[in-house]
Amino acid sequence: MAQIIDGKQIARLVRAEVAEGVALLKKRSGAVPHLAVLLVGDDPASQVYVGHKERDAAEVGIDSITHRMAAGTPEAEVAALIDRLNADDAVHGILVQLPLPGHIATDAVIERIDPVKDVDGITPENFGRLLASEAFLEPCTPSGIMELLRRYDVSIKGRSAVIVGRSNIVGKPIALMLMREHATITVCHSRTTDLARRILEADILVAATGKPRMIEGPWIKQGAVVIDVGINRMPDGKLVGDVDFDVACERASLITPVPGGVGLMTRAMLLKNTLKAANKALS
Ligand code: NDP
Instruction: Give the pLDDT confidence score for residue 253 in this predicted structure.
Output: 98
Using alpha carbons, select from 98, 108, 139 the residue that is nearest to residue 121.
139
- What 3-state class would DSSP assign to 70? coil
Q: What is the per-residue pLDDT across 78-126, written as a single tens digit (0 to 9) for each?
A: 999 999 999 999 999 999 999 999 999 999 999 999 999 999 999 999 9
Query: Do 97 and 50 touch, CB atoms closer than 8 A?
Result: yes
> Is the CB of residue 139 below 6 angstroms from any atom belonging to ligand 1?
no
- pLDDT at residue number 224: 98
Domains of the chain listed by start with CATH number: 30-114 (3.40.50.10860), 140-263 (3.40.50.720)
Percent of the chain with pLDDT over 90: 100
- DSSP symbols for 173-186: HHHHHHHHTT-EEE
For ligand 1, atom 48: residue with the closest CA: 190
Q: Which residues are known to be catalytic? A: 53, 97, 120
The region that residue 114 occupies, defined by phi over 0 for left and psi between -120 and 50 for alpha, beta otherwise, is beta
Q: Is the whole model's pTM more than 0.85, yes or no?
A: yes
Residue 231 CB less than 6 A away from ligand 1:
yes
93: β partners? 35
Band (16; pLDDT cuts 50, 70, 90): very high
Specify the pLDDT at position 251: 98
Average pLDDT, the chain: 98
* Residue 124 one-letter amino acid: P
User: Which pLDDT belongs to residue 50?
Assistant: 97
Ligand 1 pocket check for 145: Cβ under 6 Å? no
Q: Atom 35 (ligand 1): residue with closest C-alpha?
A: 230
